[in-house]
Amino acid sequence: MPRPLARSVPLAELHCHLGGAVTPAIMWGIAHAQGIKLPTKDYWEFRDMITVSARRNRSFDGYLQLFHWTELIQSSPLAVERSVYEVVGGAYRKNNVTTMELRFNPMKRNRGGEQDLDHIIAAAVRGMDKATLEYPVKPGPHLLPGPGVPVRAQRDHRREGHHLRDRGVVGIDIAGPEAATFRVADYRRLFRRARQYGLGLTVHTGESGPIEEVARVVELLEPDRIGHGVKAAYDPRAMAMIRDRGIVLEICPTSNLNTRVVSGWDEFRWILDTFRQNEVRFTINTDGPEMLKTYIRDELAQLGRLGILSVADQEIVAATSLAASFVPNVTDVSPSRLEPAPRGVVEREEA
């Protein structure tokens, strides 16, 4: 067995959705505390309902459907604050993740306008603040609008990000793919304004959309990072643009395999080899650790076991993640004086 990446090496998680990152047990408790009527009274059925399952057909649309209940359960300021706090603290305890960029769409957590967006966003910042008081971490939320939310409404959404920038909001993201009701070009002016406000810019592309979408996104929005981006490996022009502009990719292996965006580990080997040959920088992330039943060290360990990334490669990935983070002063986090306990030990203590 190849030597795993040392647990003392601090990690940064740059691509993680709040709706897929909270443990089912915590989600179960939040749902009952808010009096949400769930379709089942059996915890194990609920757990299966909000996580990937071997019994369920894997597809991109099927994966997105899992967020229906998680986003509904998180649709209040108290639920968002608790969720963010649990994710940041859990990532540090289980994986020594010291930098966590957590993205979520406040507009999908306000119950169709019943909840105030200001309170939803502020609740996420409070959850992160609480976690930083307890752990040596540097978290930062992303605001993530997307299809189904009018561009006019998202203009106000960007304003909230500007007002909260100094309180901890670090970036914005949009999620496609492009469709009749969702065009990347519609966000060009908003992204330019967000950059002026000092927010980091990342875009979901190169996942479920056409191969040529990656280059179009880079031209129109000029992002600092790209979420997923695996299809860029099939477009030399896109790779050259990404390399020349210093854009960093947020690769999520297990997620892309589950949604069948990537056919298997052999294709992933070719994709990552192609990126390295073309000097395209990338990071490794989970997308949603609890929903996908994986953790960032699991992702790195699997890539190591398959000989896709050596330990030296993994160390480069870890360093790239920290350097590419939108969270300021990530190097200020003091390293632990002791080797962090294995994840299994932490999970037994929490049970």
**pLDDT score for 177:** 67
- Alpha-carbon distance of 135 to 137, in angstroms, equals 6
**pLDDT score for 150:** 45
Residues of the chain under the 50 pLDDT cut: 147-155, 157-158, 160-161
**pLDDT score for 162:** 55
Provide the angle, in degrees to the nearest 10, between the axes of the packed helices 343-350 and 77-95: 140
Q: Which has the closest alpha carbon to 84: 9, 157, 158, 30?
A: 30
**pLDDT score for 178:** 66
What tokens were used for 58? 């894997």
**pLDDT score for 83:** 97
**pLDDT score for 149:** 47
How far is CA 299 from its chain centroid?
A: 14
Q: Judge contact between 247 and 279, C-beta under 8 A.
A: no
Q: What pTM value is reported for the model? A: 0.92
Q: Judge contact between 293 and 308, C-beta under 8 A.
A: no
Residue linked to tokens 């790209």: 226
